[in-house]
Amino acid sequence: MILPKVRDPRFTTIRRGGSLSDTDHRLLALWAASCADHVLPFFESARPDDSRPRQAIALARRWAQGDARMTETRAAGGHANGAARHLQGAPRYAAYAAGQAAVVAHVAAHELGAAAYAVRAARAAAADRDPAVAGRAECAWQRDQLPDEIRELVLDDQRLRNAICWFAFDC
């Protein structure tokens, strides 16, 4: 579970009664797509012929540019999660990251799910290294990718939801 029981109005768009602008919603989707894309090679090395996670990330980016509908991205997120079904470890978490990135169009708060699953993928892939070090490095990389416009929002969200995101953001 990566969503809080009570929705944070900062992740609800203005037109739905929250305070999130459409521009920032799209930036959250792009950042989540970058997080998922960064660990996608873990999935693709295990399932090179399965394009569902890559397609989900691409659709998230297209939605952020105004070239895809939310319903398309939500469906693609489900397909990416389906690609994870019979996998374990880093490939599974990478597919989940892609799925979470795609559904940011539907629920902006999934941005943290994409990032958390990407950290989990990096930790799981650290077979010959310390998983905690790999996770912290992935978290730091993600933070370096944050656009200034949403940086404080995401960092505060990480602080608030770190416990329900497997402490992925202890970096």
What is the residue type of 64?
Answer: A
Examine the pLDDT at 138 and tell me if it is beyond 70.
Answer: yes
Residue 13 lies inside a defined structural domain of this protein: no
Band the pLDDT of 5: cuts 50, 70, 90.
Answer: confident
Residue 92 lies inside a defined structural domain of this protein: yes
What was the pLDDT predicted at 2? 81
Residue 1 lies inside a defined structural domain of this protein: no
Tell me the pLDDT tens digit for each residue of 36-46. Answer: 999 999 999 99
With tokens 């768009």, the residue in question is 13
93 CA to centre of own chain: 10
Domain count, the chain: 1
Question: Which domain covers residue 119, as residue numbers?
Answer: 18-165
Band the pLDDT of 1: cuts 50, 70, 90.
Answer: low
Q: Name the percent of the chain lying above pLDDT 90.
A: 94
Average pLDDT of the chain, as a whole number? 96
Residue 11 lies inside a defined structural domain of this protein: no
What was the pLDDT predicted at 77? 98
Q: How far is CA 132 from CA 40, 45, 99, 125, in A?
A: 19, 22, 24, 11
Nearest 10 degrees: CA dihedral of 34, 35, 41, 42?
Answer: -170
Tell me the pLDDT tens digit for each residue of 51-87. Answer: 999 999 999 999 999 999 999 999 999 999 999 999 9
Tell me the pLDDT tens digit for each residue of 89-131. Answer: 999 999 999 999 999 999 999 999 999 999 999 999 997 889 9
**Cβ atoms within 10 A of the Cβ of 148, count?**
7
